[in-house]
């Protein structure tokens, strides 16, 4: 028993990475507790157990006196076995937690193990299981059991059944880490990723800047004949990637972010972080992109609200504004006709007939009688009476 117990502990230390001292202390605590419950130990007496790391021999003490009961060996053997199993599981969970909590923000590899309510459970090289939720994947990605998969570790939480490892392939940082893996200049901090804006499965814009004038940031990310970016696009199942050259000049940065559209003019409102971007008519669809995708991603990349306008739209807007200013400045015209239209039941044709008959204002209606008003085409006695009453009432206001 003694030698076997030590051999088991040493094996666990080698295979599971669990320190033997941790297991020894756990076994000692559990045996002391079991002895206190099973054997006749006086209340208040301190019970402790000792497991020799050299010989594997187990001794138990009640106070300073060694317990020599014939049941001691059986209790020790059973308890040691139970505790080893329990503590190994707990220690394994702690080891896994420590290992993967240190990998938050990194990319890990594994295999698709099973599917759970739309979520993918990933076997992380036999060490742990990670969860890749449906909403943390590109809608265009499809995996089957046994597929190799790479994902970004988003979060690791301690739970009773073991560490909960949350994975993602939809987070912008997944793309950033892919670039770090594919582009040595980024990994070596020669080229810096300034910002990322992403629509998973559709398109990503990544802004890069070189700290070395001799190194072209965009060229480094693209690679020879596009080899580096092609590898990333392949990993993302065909997602488009725009590599944007970062600039401290906001106008230049916005221009780069909206590529491939050609920009005519950019008007900045720094207080509201809003930019009006002017393009030719034939560049509008390119600048906005399908379903507004290009302008939204560019806006997220530069951190400014981008309002795309064509030159013809601005010209039409300026013309409308000018016309409104002219109309506002012009002297107001007599409102007799408008006043007549204010009467209920009086439309455009009736107004024309009233004007022909000499009725051009509310006052002229109020001063006439029913007989005079019924001579107007389309106005009967009842309508005439109502119109005269309305005109008099309006004039009193």
Q: What is the pLDDT of residue 2?
A: 63
Residue 1 pLDDT exceeds 60:
no
Find the mean pLDDT for residues 304-333.
Answer: 76
Token output for 46? 């301190």
Mean model confidence pLDDT for the chain:
87
Find the mean pLDDT for residues 122-126.
Answer: 89
Residue 115 pLDDT exceeds 50:
yes
Dihedral sign from CA coordinates of 283, 288, 293, 294: positive
Q: What is the pLDDT of residue 52?
A: 86
Report the range of poorest mean pLDDT among 26-40, 100-114, 297-311.
26-40
pLDDT digits (tens, 9 = 90+) for 248-260: 999 999 999 999 8
Question: What span, in angstroms and rounded, lies between the C-alpha atoms of 344 and 118?
Answer: 65
Residue 333 pLDDT exceeds 50:
no
Token output for 210? 């070189």
Its pTM surpasses 0.85: no
pLDDT digits (tens, 9 = 90+) for 183-205: 999 999 999 999 999 999 999 99
Residue 334 pLDDT exceeds 50:
no
Torsion angle in degrees (nearest 10) through CA of 198, 237, 138, 241: 0
Q: What is the pLDDT of residue 266?
A: 94
pLDDT digits (tens, 9 = 90+) for 370-391: 888 888 888 888 888 888 888 8
Question: What span, in angstroms and rounded, lies between the C-alpha atoms of 53 and 11?
Answer: 14
Measured between alpha carbons, how far is residue 131 from residues 95, 97, 117 in Å?
18, 14, 11
C-alpha triplet 93, 145, 149: angle, nearest 5°:
65
**Cβ-contact 152, 173 below 8 angstroms:** yes
Q: What is the pLDDT of residue 11?
A: 83
Band of the pLDDT at 329, cuts 50, 70, 90?
Answer: low
pLDDT digits (tens, 9 = 90+) for 48-72: 888 888 888 888 888 888 887 767 7
Residue 330 pLDDT exceeds 70:
no
Question: What span, in angstroms and rounded, lies between the C-alpha atoms of 154 and 105?
Answer: 6
Give the up-direction half-sphere exposure of residue 190: CA atoms within 13 A in the CB hemisphere.
14
Question: What span, in angstroms and rounded, lies between the C-alpha atoms of 142 and 293?
Answer: 23
Q: What is the pLDDT of residue 105?
A: 94
Residue 150 pLDDT exceeds 90:
yes
Share of the chain above pLDDT 70, in %: 95
Band of the pLDDT at 327, cuts 50, 70, 90?
Answer: low
C-alpha triplet 245, 247, 249: angle, nearest 5°:
145
Q: Which residues of 261-278 are buried (b: 16+ CB within 10 A; e: fewer)?
A: bebeebeeeeeeeebebb
pLDDT digits (tens, 9 = 90+) for 85-114: 787 777 778 888 888 999 999 999 999 999
Dihedral sign from CA coordinates of 216, 222, 223, 228: positive
Report the range of poorest mean pLDDT among 74-78, 141-145, 199-203.
74-78
**Cβ-contact 395, 366 below 8 angstroms:** yes
Residue 238 pLDDT exceeds 80:
yes
Token output for 75? 């209790």
Residue 337 pLDDT exceeds 70:
no
Residue 137 pLDDT exceeds 90:
yes
Give the list of residues 6+ apart from residue 289 with CB closer than 8 angstroms, or none: 295, 296, 297
Find the mean pLDDT for residues 321-347.
Answer: 64
């Amino acid at each position: 028993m003694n030698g076997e117990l030590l051999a088991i502990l040493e094996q666990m230390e080698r295979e599971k990475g669990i320190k033997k001292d941790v297991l020894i202390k756990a076994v000692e605590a559990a045996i002391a507790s079991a002895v206190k419950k099973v054997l006749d130990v006086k209340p208040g007496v301190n019970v402790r157990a000792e497991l020799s790391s050299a010989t594997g021999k187990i001794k138990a003490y009640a106070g300073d006196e060694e317990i020599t009961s014939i049941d001691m060996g059986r209790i020790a053997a059973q308890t040691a076995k139970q505790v080893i199993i329990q503590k190994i599981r707990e220690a394994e969970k702690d080891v896994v937690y420590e290992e993967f909590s240190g990998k938050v923000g990194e990319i890990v590899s594994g295999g698709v193990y099973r599917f759970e309510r739309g979520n993918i459970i990933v076997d992380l090289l036999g060490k742990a299981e990670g969860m890749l939720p449906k909403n943390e994947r590109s809608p265009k990605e499809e995996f089957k059991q046994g597929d190799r998969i790479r994902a970004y570790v988003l979060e690791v939480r301690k739970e009773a059944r073991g560490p909960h490892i949350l994975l993602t392939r939809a987070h912008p940082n997944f793309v950033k880490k892919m670039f770090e893996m594919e582009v040595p200049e980024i990994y070596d901090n020669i080229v810096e990723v300034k910002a990322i804006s992403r629509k998973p499965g559709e398109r990503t814009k990544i802004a890069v800047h070189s700290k070395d004038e001799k190194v072209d940031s965009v060229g480094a990310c693209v690679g020879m004949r596009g080899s580096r970016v092609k590898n990333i696009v392949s990993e993302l199942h065909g997602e488009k990637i725009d590599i944007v050259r970062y600039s401290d000049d906001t106008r230049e940065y916005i221009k780069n972010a909206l590529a491939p559209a050609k920009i005519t003019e950019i008007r900045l409102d720094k207080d509201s972080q809003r930019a009006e971007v002017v393009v030719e008519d034939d560049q509008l669809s390119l600048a906005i992109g399908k379903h507004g995708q290009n302008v939204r991603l560019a806006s997220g990349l530069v951190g400014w609200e981008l309002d795309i306008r064509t030159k013809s739209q601005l010209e039409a807007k300026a013309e409308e504004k000018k016309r409104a200013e002219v109309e506002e400045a012009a002297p107001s015209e007599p409102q007799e006709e408008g006043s007549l239209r204010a009467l209920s039941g009086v439309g455009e044709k009736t107004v024309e007939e009233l004007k022909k008959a000499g009725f051009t204002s509310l006052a002229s209606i109020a001063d006439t009688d029913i007989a005079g008003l019924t001579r107007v085409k389309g106005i009967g006695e009842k309508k005439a009476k109502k119109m005269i009453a309305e005109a008099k009432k309006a004039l009193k206001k």
